[in-house]
Amino acid sequence: MLKHHLRYSLLIFCLLNTGLTTYFAQNMMPEATSSPSAPQTYSRITVEIWSDVLCPFCYIGKRQFEAALSQYPGRESVEVIWRSFQLDPTLQTDPSKNPVRSLAERKGWSEAQTRDIMAYVTDMARGVGLEYHLDKSVVANSFDAHRLLQLGRHYGLQSEVKERLMAAYFTDGQNIADPTVLQALGEAAGLPTDAVRAMLQSDAYAKEVREDIAQAERLEIAGVPFFVFNRRRGISGAQGTGAFLAVLSELGQAR
């Protein structure tokens, strides 16, 4: 009789404890939380951009590319290198020369045709938020401006230098071959005063400028702007934000 009683008590004990375990499991244990998903990572992309400081479409393309980069979620994985290119290496600096007449002579256009083209390009620039004053631009050779750009790369300030140079030429009508102007622009971009002065008083970074131009020839780049992505894809001209964003998204797919 006692044996049956003990078996009965043991059965009740087990049932009670099982119920309590279930109860505590359902009501007292903290809810399981899913671990946060790991942040997406993107493939590294190096974008090399060949352009000239004097090229109006290069500034427009710069703005379009910047807009694409701002929309691209993997932008922190993108390195941008500004490569040097001269549309006319033989151009002589002459602040006294009329920019409309100078361009007309070099292109074989009439002055009226040149003004119409300038107006068209100015409207195009306005569409990306740029203000052009092409009729006030200074006829200047861009070689020393490109040397300043190369100095900017050395200090990690290349994009800042590029922006200052192009704004000075297209918007402010400054002489981007004048050492005094280049000194001020370099300092405004954050470059050390002594480094800019030393560069301007020497032929520093001339080799780098010429090497960029030679690379463009080897890659058969005949016009600018020209954008090269990881040495795999290229975009010629100011093709629009969508074109740049599509290539960035393709090459930098989340992984």
**At the topology level of CATH, where does 45-251 sit?**
Glutaredoxin (3.40.30)
Confidence of residue 40 (pLDDT cuts 50, 70, 90): confident
Confidence of residue 38 (pLDDT cuts 50, 70, 90): low
pLDDT digits (tens, 9 = 90+) for 229-243: 999 999 999 999 999
Confidence of residue 253 (pLDDT cuts 50, 70, 90): confident
pLDDT digits (tens, 9 = 90+) for 204-221: 999 999 999 999 999 999
Pick 2 or 184 by higher pLDDT: 184
Is residue 30 over pLDDT 50? no
Report the percent of the chain where pLDDT is more than 70.
Answer: 84
Cα(214)–Cα(173) distance, integer angstroms:
29
The ranges assigned to domains in the chain are 45-251
Is residue 254 over pLDDT 70? no
pLDDT digits (tens, 9 = 90+) for 89-135: 999 999 999 999 999 999 999 999 999 999 999 999 999 999 999 99
Is residue 13 over pLDDT 50? no
